[in-house]
Structure formats: structure tokens, C-alpha cells
Amino acid sequence: MRAGLRCADWREAVREAGKLLVATGAATDDYVDAIVRAVEELGPYIVLAPGIALAHARPEDGGVAVGFSLVTLAEPVEFGSEHNDPVDLVFAFASPDSEQHITALAALADFIESDDNLARIRAANDDEELYRVIQEAN
Amino acid sequence: MIRVFAVCGMGLGTSAILKTRLRAALDATGVDYMLDVTDASAARGQQADLIFTSAELAEGLKGTSAKVVVVKNFMDREEINQKVKEAIEELQS
């Protein structure tokens, strides 16, 4: 996870989140490209709540293992979402199939359902602090 | 038996989150239901009574026989509970 990044647009933000998945071995570079393509083709529906995007592609696009990442943005970006722009929290995940990520995804959903958790993520000034916030919530 | 779909672009992320929230909301209404997750293209080829999805994907589902309900905030249980309740009442009336 990375805190307080400056990204010019949603593509850059999504790529940053995707790159973290690649760095941990959860996904290939192709997977990152596929996430961007998915948003272009299917629209900004991945912005699932105000300020929050959940970026991902399909397992066959280069999902290697279950992995989650988070990028928080210093300046929010527009995804073109009708109800939930602008976005300053970009989560991404990868999974080797359509099942293995479900448990972790449910836990993530419960985590971001808490306004308190969201406030603490947004307040984290650096990567370490962000990591600590997530660890403490688990 | 009411057939319900949680639909997102790929049937993997948003809709999986939506499914857990829909299940809780549907249980609360007491109706007999079947709940599945699917992607937008597969949803068009299947029979359902109710489809819950995002504003961006709802347009593409208009041709189906199902009632399409737009969820704005997938994390907001109150919004989802309310919309499920209304949709079920409408189906049963």
C-alpha cells in the first residue's frame, strides 16, 4: 500500500495500485493493463462508494495469487462515476480464480464500511502509518 | 421463489460485495429467493426477477425482463435494505 500519492488521472491511480499487486507477485503486468481496459470498456462502476474505487481484472488476465493493494491519493481523481466521484482511495485485487479472493474481499468490504476506518486511512501520512492502520483493523 | 442477480462488469468484485449485503437484506424481508452473482453480459441471457447493479451498468440491462434496481453506494446497507424492500413489495403487489 502507498499513502498520499499524486496521480494525474484515474489511469495513473489504477496503475499505481496494480503495480503493487505485481510487486508482491499477485499479478502480472498484463493484469494491470487489463484493469485499465476494463474500466474503459465497462465504465466507472468500480467506484463502488463515494471516494472509493475497487480495481480488478479477471483471473485469466494475469491473476497469479490472491493479493490486495491500496493507494491513497493526495488529490482525488475523477473516474466519471455518476454518484461517487471524486476518488481518493483506490483498492485493487487479484485472484487466481473466481473463488479464492471472496473471503478477503468480504473482509475488505466490512473494513471500508466503517467511516472510522476510512478516516484513519485518509489521515495516514506515509506508507508505514497506512500499513499500521490496516493491521490494527484486522 | 424470487430470482435475484447481483451484477457487475465481471461478476468478481463489486457484485461479490453486493451479494453479501443483498443476502442480509433479502433475509430480512422473509421472501423465498435465489441469489446469484453474475457479470453484465451473462445477466442479459438469463431469466431473473430482480437485478441489482450500478448506474453505469443498468443501461445495458434494460432489455431484460427483470426489474433493474440501481445501487449508488455498495457499502451503504441502509440504501440496499430500503431498495430491496421496495422492490420486493412491488413484485408482490
**From A39, which residue of chain B is nearest by alpha-carbon distance?**
B9
Contacts of A41 in chain B (CB under 8 A): 9
The least confident of B30-39, B61-70, B76-85 is B61-70
CB of A83 closer than 8 Å to CB of B73: yes
Contacts of A101 in chain B (CB under 8 A): 12
The residue whose grid cell reads 461517487 is A84
**From B41, which residue of chain A is nearest by alpha-carbon distance?**
A42
pLDDT in tens, chain A (138 residues): 999 999 999 999 999 999 999 999 999 999 999 999 999 998 898 999 999 999 999 999 999 999 999 999 999 999 999 899 999 999 999 999 999 999 999 999 999 999 999 999 999 999 999 999 988 887
**What one-letter code names the amino acid at A20?**
L
Catalytic residue ranges of A: 56
Domains and CATH numbers, chain A: 2-137 (3.40.930.10)
CB of B40 closer than 8 Å to CB of B13: no
CB of B71 closer than 8 Å to CB of B80: yes
Question: CB distance B73–A84 less than 8 Å?
Answer: yes
Q: Mark which residues 55-74 of B lie under 8 Å from A by CB.
A: 55-57, 72-74
| Per-domain residue ranges of chain B | 2-92
The structure's pTM equals: 0.93
CATH fold label, B2-92 = Rossmann fold (3.40.50)
For A30-36, the CB contacts below 8 A with 24+ separation are A30/A61, A30/A62, A31/A57, A31/A61, A31/A62, A31/A63, A31/A94, A32/A62, A34/A58, A34/A61, A34/A62, A35/A61, A35/A92, A36/A11
